[in-house]
Chains A and B, each alone.
Chain A
Amino acid sequence: MKPAPQKRRKRNLLRAEGVEHVDWKDTALLREFLSDRGKIRARRITGLTPAEQKDVARAIKNAREMALLPYPVKKG
């Protein structure tokens, strides 16, 4: 089997934006890590380190609880 083609791996870390501390109130930033359906993007897409991915996931879940971000929606 051939290796899968590189799929839109971002690898930009978004640390490119100079974010040192992920704030769960910063919805504009967190939205970058959500798919159209509101799912959290996998690390292989976001290119974050495990620690960063964990921070982002935690922040998104906190924001969801306060209705700042949507929960994933099922479609089809």
Chain B
Amino acid sequence: MSRHYEVMVILDPSLDERTVAPTLENFLKVIRNAGGSVENVDIWGRRRLSYEINKNAEGIYAVLELISEPDDVKELDRQLSLQETVLRTKVVRRQEVRGAKRAAKIAAKA
């Protein structure tokens, strides 16, 4: 079953911000080739970290929104975290708004 995921990536600040989009695109092939879809790629750009990560005070943030199979996201996450320029990643399921499920059920019944 395909699910809606949000993947946040923190990249090394020494990278050129212009190269970020193409690099990420390269990784997103994993999702695309597996039949998932990339809904949105949001590059926040350079941002101060709340605490140092690997001696870096800054990081380049990017948020990817995908619809894909769980295993494909796992593979994407694995490949990203192998990269030395990736400081950190986080995969989060897009949460439904509280009560949305129940509302849908009620609507379906009616």
Contact = CB atoms under 8 A, between A and B. Distances in A.
Contacts of A14: none
B36 interface: no
A48 to B, nearest CB: 13
Q: What 9 pairs across the A-B complex have the smallest Cβ distances?
A: A67-B49, A70-B50, A67-B50, A21-B97, A66-B90, A66-B8, A69-B50, A67-B51, A20-B97
Contact of B90 (A51, A55, A62, A71): A62
A68 B50 contact: yes
Chain A: interface residue count, which band?
A: 10 to 19
B53 interface: yes
Contacts, number: 33
B90 to A, nearest CB: 5
B30 to A, nearest CB: 21
B interface secondary structure, majority = strand
A interface secondary structure, majority = loop
B63 interface: yes
A30 to B, nearest CB: 11
29 contacts: A20-B97, A20-B98, A21-B95, A21-B97, A21-B98, A24-B92, A25-B8, A25-B63, A51-B98, A55-B98, A62-B90, A62-B92, A64-B50, A65-B90, A66-B8, A66-B10, A66-B61, A66-B90, A67-B10, A67-B49, A67-B50, A67-B51, A67-B53, A67-B59, A67-B88, A69-B50, A70-B51, A71-B50, A71-B51
